[in-house]
Structure 1
Amino acid sequence: MTKATRRGILAVVVALVLVGFGAGIGVVVGDTLGVGRGDRDLAVAWAARVLLVLALAWVVIGAASVRTRLVRRPGAAGARASWLAASRPWRARESTLGLDSLDLWLLFLVPVALLVATRAVQTSFLSWTHLAVVLGAWAVFAIVLRLCVWRRSPWPVIAAVGGVVVLRCIVTLVALSFTGPGGYWDAFWTDPVARVGSIAIAFALFVWVFVAAGWALSTQIGVRRATGSVLAAVGAGLALPSLVVAIVGLERSSTMWNDELGMLPWGVARILGVTTALELPASTGWFAAGFGTLLAVVGVLLAVRWRPRTAT
């Protein structure tokens, strides 16, 4: 059995395990998810459909370019690198070799633009708080990873992370493309099978972002340092936004978020308070920041290159 075959089998096993965990989460959360905004259904659904077509085009071009001459077209090599790095992260380094400036820019800008647009559509263009928290966490994650790579090429990990981000955005956009009497989100989530399946795939792809990032980095800096780099990036990405939320106040932050998205009825949110209604401890933000900091410290210790002592 070749090394490529073993890696492929390992990747499939990891993916199946992640999907299984995601399905379990989907069953547990049940009908508690969903934000319906019937007044914006049609506009949101069409915006999601346009983004979905563009995202699928990027993925299809990348997959088709692996074994066809399409790779010679402008931008196709970048799509190919994105697809290979996302589906086979151990090939991320080789997939980015020889890319011209256009392909490199697309490799970076397509996932970033799609992530921002998908989050904006998901919140019906109403929640700057959601965008600030989510995009801030992604930005911190990316910056820490870039620092860990340091003098080596950052493009393999950019291709791996960006490729998976595109796939995860596609899952979200499929759900947002549905419309119905109860709201664009409710119309999709009222079907238990669709709800559990979507959560399972979304969860698997979310975790696969970090698996792919570490796998891509391991070909450059080794397994230990790659694992540490990803842990440090995840920890920092969790700690800093959580710290901001904790300083501002969990109740105040949750209220702002709820006012923008309408997750809870206005009366319930104002009378009971969002944290009380959702049974969230007031110290949740501090706990999250502390856990993220601990994770980042452990990651840094693993990512540091320890030089052996020289004999005297």
Structure 2
Amino acid sequence: MSEARIWHGGDLDEARRLFPGAPEPWIDLSTGINPIAYPVPALPASLFERLPLPADHRDLEAAAAEAYGAADPAMVVAAPGTQVLINLLPLLRPRSRVAILGPTYAEHAQAWRAAGHEVSEVASPEEADRADVVVLVNPNNPDGRAVARDVLLALAERLRSRSGWLVVDEAFADFDADETIVPALPSNAVVLRSFGKTYGLAGVRLGFAIAAGDLALRFRQMLGPWSVSGPALAVGRQALRDRKWLNAAREGRGQDARRLDALLQPFASGPLRGTRLYRLLETMRAPDLFSHLGRKGIWVRRFQFDCRLLRFGLPGSAVAWERLSGALGEFA
């Protein structure tokens, strides 16, 4: 039996299929990607004409180690997007009992199941005591739930006693990094970090696994040589070292998240949740609001596991803010 199709953000083909009469251009608020992208530098043609240099690959990993707080650049493995790492990770273990702290990004469970592991969803780390592997997203997608660093480190220690792993997907931690475990990474833990979400450059396809020596080596062996393109190496190296841009983006997206909360609050049946890059609205009217916005050419993220939820990414322009505000104002 084939896996059920997982809904993802960014699928404007689906938006146009569902709402063929909607005005163009669409405003895509269905992803958690920074709408104000890092300014891509002019790239020399040689980056597209030759294979990437190993020294450039190592320099990217050194920049990532510095940005994320890893003790040693050798712990950082660059890959063509975090999704590749999510798919590879289950192949590095024999069949195991895997507990996933959910609901969360659905590709984690699908990847472990596809590799033959026994997968269950748990509501808290305390419910995972029988698992060989615990997987969680921190802060969580879609609700922004954060698990404290000391809780994660204690969980890794319990897993170590049975040769287990802790996998922490920190895809949205760049702007909400208070609980990252990278600086004190246990030897049986793997942290995944995404580049494209924070820097607004999802098309670059760049992500990182951070792990202790043997695990990092096995990732490198599975990825093989030239796993990251020359242009991605160049953009990633520059962006990850640009702390001034990151700090300004963190502050700017925090302001945008508060502005979005003010627009969504009248429709909320509970507290608005999420991160600086997306906000999660819970309302019994979610299906009607989704359709209303779709007819206005505004695409937001709905969820298979709960029809009361809608996730809103941040508008990226004055026009987008105006259209969203107007559409919400017309919802009755």
Fold similarity call, TM over 0.5: no
Q: Which has the higher helix share?
A: 1
Q: Which has the higher strand share?
A: 2
Instruction: Output the TM-score relative to the length of structure 2.
Output: 0.27
